Amino acid sequence: MADPAVEALRFIDPSCENPSSEQMQAIRIIHDEHRSLAAVLHGMLYLVHQIRDRGTRPDFGLLGAMTYYIDAFPERFHHPKEDQYLFRLLRMRRPDAALLLDRLESEHRAGAEKIRTLEQALARYQHGGAAEFSNFLAAVEAYAAFHWDHMRAEEAELLPLAEQHLSPGDWEAIDAAFLGHTDPMQGAKPGAEYEALFSRIVNLAPPPIGLGPAPPRA
Ligand SMILES: [Fe+2]
Ligand SMILES: [Fe+2]
């Protein structure tokens, strides 16, 4: 028989009900999605540093595919699920997390603008040549640092709070969204398309970051 004290508490605070072991799949998916994004950011930093330090010739096809990925994957696929499900429910359960949630949501909005800066810097570099390289390098470094900080805050601060305070019902809704059962725009099909793009990047990228051919010197 259920403990009456727990039952009473459950009425006040749904967090005292523990999610089952099959729940909280969204946490694993968020970590996986962060790892994919971090790999592309790391790859892009590696490429620009090779151009700066070794005079490697830029592969604009690869840089363009990476820029597209770090624009579309978080903006259209990852952040909307965080905003609409994870952040919204945690805000309801933990009003004292408002400061952290405000910060993370405003970073989602700021990220969209920062990626436009990166796209413009890439276009200028591609069409304007070496004189535009330092601007592109700075944009890549700034975007990577910004997004790493954001993912670190989500993993170190937000996810532990969510694990502790969201109810099984909350996780049902969040898991469904992250598994792609809620919105076809964020579902399995787009997920598979981003995986295919990620594989294409890995196949184009030179060693040691990918499986593509070594780049010719400029
Ligand atoms: Fe986020
Ligand atoms: Fe995230």
Cβ atoms of 187 and 180 closer than 8 Å: yes
Q: Which ligand is nearest to the CA of 34?
A: 2
pLDDT at residue 8, rounded to an integer: 40
Q: Is the pLDDT of residue 140 over 60?
A: yes
* Spatial CB neighbours of 109, under 8 Å, sequence gap ≥ 6: none
**What distance in Å separates the CA atoms of residue 87 and residue 134, rounded to the nearest whole number?**
37
CA of 3 to the centre of ligand 1 (A): 38
Separation of CA 38 and ligand 2 centre (Å)? 11
Q: What is the pLDDT of residue 6?
A: 41
**Cβ–Cβ contacts within 10 Å for residue 90, how many?**
23
Residue reference for tokens 């400029």 = 218
pLDDT band at residue 146 using 50, 70 and 90 as cut-offs: very high
DSSP for 101-133 reads HHHHHHHHHHHHHHHHHHHHHHHHHHHH-GGGH
End-to-end CA distance of the chain: 74
- The model carries a pTM of 0.85
Q: Ligand 2 mean position to 34 CA, how many Å?
A: 6
Give the model's confidence band at 1: pLDDT under 50 very low, under 70 low, under 90 confident, else very high: very low
Distance 11 CA to ligand 1 centre (A): 30
Whole-number Å distance, alpha carbon 148 to ligand 2 midpoint, is: 10
Per-residue pLDDT of 152-185, as tens digits, reads 999 999 999 999 999 999 999 999 999 987 776 7
Cα 126 to middle of ligand 1, angstroms = 30
Dig out the tokens for 15 from the structure: 């967090």
Q: Ligand 2: distance of its center to the CA of 4 in Å?
A: 38
Residue range 50-99, pLDDT digits in tens:
999 999 999 999 999 999 999 999 988 899 999 999 999 999 999 999 99
Amino acid letter, residue 33: E
Q: Tens digit of pLDDT for each residue in 107-137?
A: 999 998 999 999 999 999 999 999 999 999 9
User: Looking at residues 140-160, what average pLDDT do you find?
Assistant: 96
Is residue 174 within 8 A of residue 160, CB to CB? The reply is no
| Residue 75 Cα to ligand 2 middle (Å) | 10
Q: Tell me how far the alpha carbon of residue 82 lies from the centroid of ligand 1, in angstroms.
A: 6
Q: How confident is the model at residue 217 (pLDDT cuts 50, 70, 90)?
A: low
Q: Which CATH number fits domain 24-204: 3.40.50.300, 3.40.50.10860, 1.20.120.520, 1.10.3720.10?
A: 1.20.120.520
- Phi and psi (nearest 5°) for 56? -65, 145
- Would you say 143 and 114 are in contact if contact means Cβ atoms under 8 Å apart? yes
